[in-house]
């Protein structure tokens, strides 16, 4: 099953309307996105909890890494650069942190609040190589803006 982004945006907008707690929003987004597409093997957030440091937030799937410094891995790169990381083959990514050996490709997007302050990253892993597209990037970035930058 492939995600229908139009339906996903409507569902998440309805579920999060009026909510401003970041963790509650993260939990809802992680759940809905994870169950919207068979490609998504692990879906979740890493929250900025200290300077240059991410800690695990709400997620769906197997265990995740508990702590990721901005200096390491795909999540760290997204936090450090403020840019989406679309990685077709995690084994070819310098400094990749293997939280799960099944991960083959990864998409990580920075998450900002209404003040444009980085609050975390949204990480989606797949057990399939080269599975994410620019369409995924654009639609998920739009979704994150709607939910967290209001």
Q: What would the pLDDT profile of 90-148 be if each residue is shown by its tens digit?
A: 989 887 777 777 889 999 999 999 999 999 999 999 999 999 999 999 999 999 999 99
Both tokens of 7, joined, read: 């339906």
Kindly indicate the confidence band of residue 86, based on its pLDDT and cuts at 50, 70 and 90.
very high
Average pLDDT estimate for 47-64: 96
Distance in angstroms (rounded) separating the CA atoms of residues 124 and 89 = 13
Could you tell me the pTM of the whole model? 0.96
CA 122 from chain center: how many Å?
2
Hey, how many other C-beta atoms are within 10 angstroms of the C-beta on 57? 23
Say if CB 55 and CB 49 are below 8 A apart.
Answer: yes
Radius of gyration of the chain (CA): 14
Q: 89 vs 21, 48, 107, CA distance in Å?
A: 34, 25, 11
Both tokens of 13, joined, read: 């907008």
Q: 27 vs 16, 37, 83, 130, 141, CA distance in Å?
A: 10, 17, 22, 26, 17
Say if CB 135 and CB 84 are below 8 A apart.
Answer: no
Q: What would the pLDDT profile of 26-55 be if each residue is shown by its tens digit?
A: 999 999 999 999 999 999 999 999 999 999
Q: What is the pLDDT of residue 80?
A: 97
Both tokens of 41, joined, read: 């093997």
Both tokens of 107, joined, read: 């998409």
Q: What is the pLDDT of residue 99?
A: 75
């Amino acid at each position: 099953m492939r995600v229908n982004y139009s339906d996903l945006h409507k569902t998440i907008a309805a579920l999060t309307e009026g909510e401003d707690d970041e963790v509650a929003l993260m939990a809802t987004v992680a759940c809905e996105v994870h169950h919207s597409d068979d490609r998504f093997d692990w879906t979740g957030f890493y929250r900025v909890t200290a300077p240059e440091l991410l800690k695990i937030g709400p997620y769906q799937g197997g265990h995740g890494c508990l702590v990721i410094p901005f200096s390491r891995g795909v999540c760290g790169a997204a936090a450090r650069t403020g840019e989406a990381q679309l990685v077709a083959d995690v084994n070819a990514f310098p400094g990749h942190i293997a939280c799960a050996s099944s991960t083959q490709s990864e998409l990580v997007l920075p998450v900002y609040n209404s003040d444009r302050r980085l609050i975390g990253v949204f990480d989606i892993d797949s057990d399939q190589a080269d599975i994410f597209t620019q369409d995924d990037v654009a639609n998920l970035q739009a979704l994150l803006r709607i939910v967290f930058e209001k």
